[in-house]
């Protein structure tokens, strides 16, 4: 397998995605610590008191499902372009001029889809209930 510019761009976008997920995970932990400190102050708990855990809550949330759908479509389009617009032996586009013009740039929709997906996922700040 040859390492090309397209492969480097896709790998960089994947690394960006995983770094962003790591930053979001750290932000989630920071929000949980802040929430625990506020809760201790409000309810008068001592510092050694165990706080109830919120189980079952997903650590991440989605800002816009439309962006998620667009990013998935873009990633699938990039994969199709990489495979010369054929899937399971079925050629979707047979025009050689179109294939030779657009398929060399398969990495652009794939990398853009991954970056859009990374920005459509976020972490919600916990609500204490007394803030307005």
Q: Which residues of the chain have pLDDT under 50?
A: 132
Percent of the chain with pLDDT over 70: 78
Classify residue 131: in a domain, yes or no: no
Neighbouring residues of 84: CB distance < 8 A, sequence distance ≥ 6 = 91, 99, 103
Q: What is the Cα–Cα distance from 67 to 30, expressed in whole angstroms?
A: 26
Q: What is the Cα–Cα distance from 41 to 49, expressed in whole angstroms?
A: 12
Identify the pLDDT of residue 132: 44
Identify the pLDDT of residue 8: 93
Classify residue 39: in a domain, yes or no: yes
Taking alpha carbons only, the member of 116, 102, 96, 118 closest to residue 6 is: 102
pTM of the model: 0.75
Q: Domain count of the chain? A: 1
Classify residue 68: in a domain, yes or no: yes
Identify the pLDDT of residue 57: 65
Classify residue 86: in a domain, yes or no: yes
Question: Taking each helix axis from N to C terminus, what angle separates 65-82 and 107-120, rounded to the nearest 10 degrees?
Answer: 160
Query: What is the span of the domain harbouring residue 26?
Result: 5-52+59-122
Classify residue 130: in a domain, yes or no: no
Q: What is the Cα–Cα distance from 55 to 66, expressed in whole angstroms?
A: 28
Classify residue 129: in a domain, yes or no: no
């Amino acid at each position: 397998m040859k390492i090309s510019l397209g492969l480097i761009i896709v790998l960089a976008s994947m690394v960006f995605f995983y770094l962003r997920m790591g930053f979001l995970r750290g932000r989630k932990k920071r929000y949980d610590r802040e929430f625990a400190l506020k809760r201790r102050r409000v309810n008068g708990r001592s510092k050694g008191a165990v706080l109830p855990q919120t189980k079952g809550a997903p650590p991440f949330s989605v800002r816009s499902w439309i962006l998620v759908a667009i990013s998935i479509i873009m990633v699938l389009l990039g994969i199709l372009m990489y495979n010369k617009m054929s899937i399971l032996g079925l050629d979707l586009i047979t025009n050689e001029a179109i294939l030779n013009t657009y398929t060399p740039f398969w990495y652009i929709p794939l990398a853009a889809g991954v970056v859009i997906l990374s920005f459509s996922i976020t972490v919600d700040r916990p609500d204490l209930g007394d803030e307005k």
